[in-house]
Structure 1
């Protein structure tokens, strides 16, 4: 399958083989690929909690309006964001750690990040977090397909109860629930507007 065919054939799958398994090693490999997604100032604010325990999946299903794809998934990826990753000092330290900059470039990099945030302060708040997590999540969905798994992005869940159940930090923002597994159906065909209906080209 070539790249464009893979993109065009993605479906939101709501019927999974309940006996299918996904290994921890495979999950980590998938997430390492997904983490190549872009993010503002390379903040990488995503946090991922992967639930495989079948009893917990049944509880998650109860907090997801009893949608069966949650309980039948091989794993459910809870994707969250942490606004602390937008802290300028933390960003500078990350850039130094990975040798993106050296010590002589710290002042210039700090000024550029602070200037950017002065133009777009919302990008270090919930709005920016949802954009960055969205980019990561879309990347993750396509990576999952390359490993032979399908998924369905979900927001219609009781995130507060899920956070309490899993005893997660209260300063993490839950953005998306992503049930993952082996599809037993092809899913619904896409119905999409043609590009000419939503595009303006200025030559």
Structure 2
């Protein structure tokens, strides 16, 4: 006779708490500074997110000096979290991410995750595929993967006791110009990160029955 295990362990509960406690925070304690070592570790954990063909098209510009946060402030429509937060992380998408395929799949071989010939075939396949893909299709891939890594970064931050807010409200063109970012990259979002001065307010969500359907979509 099998014995059923508890559906929620302590570890699972911690994960669920992280999800429940993540809020979009717009008021930060400006006295709190996150070290670059800790920011680097959070980014490392965030990059465990999945990506198409494991090409990892995300790139991060970490803005953490007072001078550069002030420079960003008007570009972000004077949202005060830009200067109050410990840092603002610009998530970018690399439109030429396939150029990293040889390095990535070489690392797979070195880690004994795949044979050399398999890695070589993957490099050739994705180089040809991306070289012939439309700009729209490549943009869609990097936006999708950029969203995945952004959500993971925000959850990692919450697990470490920090707060975040994803920001789409900024002048993307002025941002690219002000921070001298080439057209190889596309801006996906800004993420302010720090310690909340004021907690993010709770929000409601539609019921699952309103947003999920099994096997067929409802009639309009």
Same fold (TM over 0.5): yes
State the 1:116 CA deviation: 7.8
Give the equivalent residue in structure 2 for 1:179.
192
- Of 164, 182, 186, the residue aligned with 1:169 is 182
Greater shift, 108-117 or 35-44, is seen at: 108-117
State the 1:61 CA deviation: 1.1
8 Å Cα contact 2:59-2:93 kept in structure 1: yes
CA-based RMSD of the aligned residues comes to 2.5
C-alpha distance 173-110 of structure 1, shift in aligned 2 (>3 A): same
8 Å Cα contact 2:98-2:126 kept in structure 1: no
8 Å Cα contact 1:50-1:76 kept in structure 2: yes
Give the equivalent residue in structure 2 for 1:44.
56
Give the equivalent residue in structure 1 for 2:14.
2
State the 1:169 CA deviation: 2.5
- CA offsets per residue over residues 18-40 of structure 1, 9 Å max, x none? 11101010011111100100000
Is 1:95 equivalent to 2:105 in the alignment?
A: yes
8 Å Cα contact 1:83-1:124 kept in structure 2: no
* Unpaired stretches in structure 2, ≥5 consecutive residues: 1-12
Give the equivalent residue in structure 1 for 2:46.
34
Give the equivalent residue in structure 2 for 1:104.
117
- CA offsets per residue over residues 22-77 of structure 1, 9 Å max, x none? 10100111111001000000010111011111121112111111111111111010
Give the match's secondary structure for 1:3: helix
C-alpha distance 141-7 of structure 1, shift in aligned 2 (>3 A): same
C-alpha distance 60-80 of structure 1, shift in aligned 2 (>3 A): same
Give the match's secondary structure for 2:151: helix
8 Å Cα contact 1:54-1:71 kept in structure 2: yes
State the 1:97 CA deviation: 2.6
Give the equivalent residue in structure 1 for 2:89.
77
8 Å Cα contact 1:96-1:102 kept in structure 2: no
Give the equivalent residue in structure 1 for 2:78.
66
Q: TM-score, normalised by structure 2?
A: 0.82
Structure (1 or 2) with the larger CA radius of gyration: 2
C-alpha distance 22-114 of structure 1, shift in aligned 2 (>3 A): closer
Aligned length: 200
Is 1:188 equivalent to 2:188 in the alignment?
A: no
State the 1:106 CA deviation: 4.0
- In 2, distance between residues paired with 1:194 and 1:139? 23
- In 2, distance between residues paired with 1:144 and 1:17? 15
Q: TM-score, normalised by structure 1?
A: 0.88
- Of 33, 56, 65, the residue aligned with 1:53 is 65
- CA offsets per residue over residues 74-114 of structure 1, 9 Å max, x none? 10101101011135xx4244212331432222465357658
